Amino acid sequence: MQSKHLRWYGVITLFAIVAISYVDRINIAVLITDAGFLKHVGLAANDRVSQGFLATAFMLGYGVSAFVLTPFCSALFGVRRSLVYGLILWGAVTWASPMFNSYGLLLASRILLGVSEGPLFSLASSYIKAHFQSHENGKPNALVNMGTGLGLAVGYPLVGYLLTQFEWDSSFHVLGVLNIALGIPLVLAFVRMPAGHVDGVKPSSLGEAFARVGGIVKGALHTRHLFLITLLTSAALAYLWGSSNWLPTYLREARGFSLREMGWIAAMPQYATVLAVFVGGMLIDKLGRDRVPFIFMGASAGVALSVLMAINARDPYAAASCLVAANFFWGLQSPAIPSTVQYCSRPEHTASAFGVTNGAGSLVAGFMPALMGGVIGAVSHGPATAGMAAASASGFFAGFALLIGTQVVVFGCGFMLWLRDRAQQAASVSQSQVS
């Protein structure tokens, strides 16, 4: 009973670390609204593609790391030590980022930050798989994923406040210290794998190390429905990264909010995500595994409709409210992704299986901010009868319309997962009746 109680402290720790990591990730999204920061790195205010590629660079490093580093972290270091090493690295990179005084160097720092954070969700998934059975993993997955929304919700107004009160580089320094001073003590105190669990046991030779990693990767590739889950994850993350990285600029330039208003209004959709992730986790445990695909289908339809309403709304507060609704629906589907990976993979392969789906998903989704930036820039520079402001707003509306397409993919993948699970259950019933 005590171990079951203590396992939740590890989940809460992972929730806090995910929240911290998402503040790091969207720091740039707020800073690109600041003229001083743009001048420091040599970026033009209307260069939307280069601005979007700062987020893409992070996701490229993140995706490759989730693929390559996750098996080594799982096999050689284990969950606890991998988290500590990651926090040290990404805290140092964040703190040092203001020293990079060119666009190329800043891109390199974002890639390195992505590399250091890449294994995080895979390690969290491995921890949950080790401590919770399939019928009870909805709530811990939901709690960890709530860190995504909370990090964004806290990050936008926090970075906005630091930007209005201090120099732009203060946000990097504050977040770098926060990673190390808060994250590492929590991991050392509360993240423990179950007794007897093979977690980071040092291999006796280099050959054994590579054999162990190879076995983990091979096992991960045998995860059921791997391609469908990976495609679904790619589309879901594409929405998250496209919307979160362009939301502050959208609110300021397309909807006319001030910097102070932008901070708290940008936070509202993220609080909706936090609430929805919790509700989604409850739904997973309540509905049962066979109905989880319905969460993907219903939530994706809600996201697409809400974004469409936001684009067509004339009142800026009505548009912001629609984006709050869109993030709520996205949050419902969020915990269902790791829950599905854990259900379809073996315990010893869960971290690497999630590394494959999350890594590939991140690589694909990483191009969404740059793609949206290209569309925003192209349409903004096109003809506009009402002047430059109308052209800029039209660009953002066109860019945000791409987010609807991501949810069409999520809906289709959810439908296919439901069909395949239904066929598998029918085959199992037929075999039991024959025997």
In a domain? residue 435? no
Work out the end-to-end distance of the chain between its first and last CA atoms, rounded to an integer number of angstroms. Answer: 39
In a domain? residue 345? yes
Alpha-carbon distance of 404 to 34, in angstroms, equals: 29
Task: Please give the DSSP secondary-structure letter assigned to residue 334.
Answer: T
In a domain? residue 205? no
In a domain? residue 33? yes
In a domain? residue 197? no
pLDDT tens per residue across span 197-207: 555 455 555 56
Q: What percent of the chain has pLDDT over 70?
A: 80
Apex 292 CA angle, 287 and 298, nearest 5: 100
Number of Cβ within 10 Å of residue 321's Cβ equals 19
Alpha-carbon distance of 55 to 368, in angstroms, equals: 9
In a domain? residue 206? no
Domain count, the chain: 1
In a domain? residue 329? yes
pLDDT tens per residue across span 138-186: 678 778 877 877 887 787 788 878 877 888 888 888 888 888 898 899 9
Alpha-carbon distance of 137 to 355, in angstroms, equals: 18
> Token pair of 155, please?
């990050």
Alpha-carbon distance of 28 to 199, in angstroms, equals: 35
Phi, psi angle pair for 103, to nearest 5°: -65, -40
Q: Out of 129-133, 257-261, 324-328, give the one with best mean pLDDT.
A: 324-328
Residue-range definition of the domain harbouring residue 115: 2-192+214-430
In a domain? residue 310? yes
pLDDT tens per residue across span 211-246: 655 665 666 667 778 888 889 999 998 998 888 777
Reduce the DSSP state of residue 364 to 3 states and report it: helix
**Burial of 128 (C-beta count, 10 Å sphere; 0-12/13-18/19+):** buried
Q: What is the CATH number of the domain that holds 296?
A: 1.20.1250.20
